[in-house]
Amino acid sequence: MDPNGRWFGRFAAVWSGQTLSLIGSKLGGFALVWWLTVETGSATALAAASTALFLPRILLRPIAGVCVDRWSRRWVILISDAFVALFSLWLAVLFWRGAMELWHVYLIVAARAIGGAFHEPAMSASTIHLVPEKHLSRLSGVNHTLQGGLNLAGPLLGALAVSVMPLHNIMLIDVATALFAIVPLFFLSIPQPGRTEEVRRASIWRNMADAVRYIRSVPGLALMIVASALGNGLITPTGSFYPLLATEYFSGGAFHLAGLQSGWAVGYVLGGMLFTLWSRFHRRTTTIYVAAAFQGLGMLLIAFAPPTGIVLATVGMFVTGLMNTYYNAPSGPLFQANIPPELQGRVFSLVGTLCYAAYPIGLWVETAVVERFGVHPVLFLGAGFLVLCGGLAIVPSIRNLEETLHRQRAEREDAEKVTPKDA
C-alpha cells in the first residue's frame, strides 16, 4: 500500500470501472430474463437459466480459488471481465440478427457464471492490497449501499431500458460498461504479496487442502462458514416465495409485492449507509450474530402479520434488510485484513462454493414445503434459525475469532521479520 496516500486514485479507477460494469450487467441480466419470460412463458426455462447461473459457480469456484492465488489477480479480473463481455457482444449480434434461440441464453448465463467464479474471489482477495486496512469497513458499507440501491432501482432501470430500446442495444450497453472495468486494468498494477513458487508448483488438490487446513486451524472459523452456508440455504430462498405471500395470503397485487420488496431494499440501503458512517465495532463477530437474531425477529414480524397486516410485514422486511447489512458487511473486512494473502483466493472460493451449493438445495426443499403447507412454515424455519444464530455470539470460539485472527496475523508478521535475519 502506498504510504503517501496515492492509493485512492488507483482504487477509484478500478472500483468505478467495476461499478459501471455491474450496472451494465444488471441491465443485461434483466434483458435476458425478460426475453425468456416473453418468448417461453415457462417456469422450467427460468429454472434452467437459474441452474446455468449457479452450477458453474459451484463446480468451478474451488479451482478458481487456486488459480487466483497462483496467477496474477489483475489478469484474472481483466480476463474474466473480457470473457463475459465477448459473450455479451455475441448475444447482441444474435438479438440484432433475430437469430436468438433458447440455448443461446443458457450459454451466456453459464458464461457469466464462469467469469464470476474467477472474478469474485480475485476481486475480494485484491481489495486489501488496493485499500488501506482502516478504510475496509467503510468500503464494505459503500458496497452494500450500492448493492441495495441496485436491487431497488435495477428492475425499474431494466424495465425502462426494454421499453425504450431493442434488446441488442441493452447488451451493447453491457459490453460498453465492461470496457470501463477492463481498460484501467491494462495500466494499473494490483500488488500480490505471498505468491510463492511453492504455491505455483503444488498440485491443485494440495492447494485446496492448504485452504481447508487453514480454516480448520482457526478456532470458530469453520463453524462460522457452516452457519453462513446453512443460512444461505434456509434464508435466501424465501425471497422466491414473497410473490405468493403478497398475492395468496395478503390478497394483493403487484403494488403489494413491490412494497414488500422495496421495504427490504430500503432497509438494506439504509444499513449500508449507516455502516459506512459508523463501522467501528469492538467485536465484529458479535455484531454479525446479534444482527442475525434481529433479522430473525424481522422475519417473525412477517410471519405473524395477519392477512390485513401487509404494512406490518413491510416493516418486518425493512428490519430484515437493515439487519442483513450488519450480518454481511463486517465479515469481508475482517477476513480480508487477517487471512494470509496467499490463501485468500482459495478460502473465499471455498466459502462461496458452500454457500452457492446450499442455495439450490434449500430452494427445492422449501419449494416442496411451500407447495404442501404454504409460505409461513419456511418463514418460521428461517426466523428460528436466525434467532438461534444469535446464540453463536456467546460461543467462545466465535466471540474471540477476531482476536484469534489478529494474533495469528501478528505471529506471521513477526516470523516474516525474523526469517530474513536467520537466513
What is the model's pLDDT at position 197?
64
What is the model's pLDDT at position 279?
61
What is the model's pLDDT at position 305?
93
- In which residue are the cell numbers 497462483 written? 70
> Could you tell me where the beta strands, DSSP code E, fall in 51-141?
none
Lowest-confidence pick of 105-109, 158-162, 167-171, 175-179 = 158-162
- What single-letter amino acid sits at 365? V
More confident residue, 144 or 169: 169
Q: Residue 353 in contact with residue 317, Cβ under 8 Å?
A: no
Q: What's the chain's average pLDDT?
A: 84
Lowest-confidence pick of 20-34, 161-175, 222-236, 345-359 = 20-34
Length of the chain: 423
Lowest-confidence pick of 42-56, 246-260, 294-308 = 42-56
Residue 3 pLDDT grade (very low, low, confident, very high; cuts 50, 70, 90): very low
Domains of the chain and any CATH numbers:
1-190 (1.20.1250.20), 215-418 (1.20.1250.20)
The crossing angle, in degrees rounded to 10, of helices 284-304 and 310-328 is 160
Residue 357 pLDDT grade (very low, low, confident, very high; cuts 50, 70, 90): confident
Q: Is the dihedral of CA 139, 145, 148, 152 positive or negative?
A: negative
pLDDT over 70 (residue 100): yes
What is the model's pLDDT at position 35?
82
pTM of the model: 0.77
pLDDT over 60 (residue 5): no
Residue 298 pLDDT grade (very low, low, confident, very high; cuts 50, 70, 90): very high
pLDDT in tens, 34-80: 787 777 766 567 667 777 887 888 888 888 888 888 888 889 999 99
Q: Residue 18 in contact with residue 181, Cβ under 8 Å?
A: yes
What is the model's pLDDT at position 423?
41
Residue 422 pLDDT grade (very low, low, confident, very high; cuts 50, 70, 90): very low
Lowest-confidence pick of 183-197, 353-367, 386-400 = 183-197
Residue 189 pLDDT grade (very low, low, confident, very high; cuts 50, 70, 90): confident
Residues 6 or more apart whose CB falls under 8 angstroms from that of 328 comprise 144
Q: Residue 228 in contact with residue 357, Cβ under 8 Å?
A: no
pLDDT in tens, 280-294: 666 788 889 999 999
pLDDT in tens, 405-421: 888 888 887 877 765 54
